[in-house]
Structure 1
Amino acid sequence: MWGNAFLLSVLYLLAGIVVETLRRRYPKYFFDRLSMALDSLPARALELVHAMEPLRAAYFSGRITDLGVRVVFGVVTVAVIFLLALVVGAIMAVLRWGLMRATRGGNRPPPGEG
């Protein structure tokens, strides 16, 4: 579970780096839209915890740079991916436990034990 979350985080961040590099090198509408699509996950997560408005104010007042915003978005993205991996892993563990309990017939021990 941790390995999958880490791999997804790395892939997401690498995709962001590639898209941002392409957007700066080739200023096309497509790359702008792709960059905004990648930024929507951390932006919505920041909105959910009411942290987007202070970040926006800091950016427009010059207290944080483009790179600073990218770092914040990257950290938030990694945190969201890890949180999602934990939630999905916990759900799968509960489902597996329930399935194993159902196939064993309740509280009886598995065959071969006892």
Structure 2
Amino acid sequence: MWGNAFLLSVLYLLTGIVVESVRRRYHKPFFERLSMALDSLPARALELVRAMEPLREAYFSGRITDLGVRVVFGLVTVAVIFLLAVVVGAIMAVLRWALMRATRGGHGSPRG
């Protein structure tokens, strides 16, 4: 579970680095849309915890740079991926436990 979450995080961040690098070099609408699509996950997560507006204000007032916003978005993305992996892992563990309990309880030999 942790390995998959780490791998997904690394792939997401590497994709973001490549897309951002290409977007800055070639100013094509496709790369702009792709960059915005990658940014939507951390932006929505930050909006959910009401942290997007303070980040936006800090960016527009010059207290945080483009690189700072990218670092925040990257960290939030990694946190979201790990949180999703933990939740899915916990659900699978509960389902496995329930299945094991049901199969052991239903097919046991009669006592008495």
TM-score by length of 1: 0.92
- Listed as ranges, the matches of 1:1-114 within 5 Å are 1-105=1-105
What is the letter of the counterpart of residue 38 of structure 2? L
User: How far 1:105 sits from its partner (Å)?
Assistant: 1.6
- For this pair of structures, how many residues does the alignment match? 108
Percent of aligned pairs with the same amino acid: 88
The one-letter amino acid paired with 2:35 is: S
Q: Deviations over 1:44-87 (max 9, x none)?
A: 00000000000000000000000000000000000000000000
In structure 1, the residue corresponding to 2:97 is in which secondary structure? helix
Equivalent position amino acid for 2:53 in 1: E
CA apart distance, 1:15: 0.3
* TM-score normalised per structure 2: 0.94
CA RMSD of aligned residues (A): 1.1
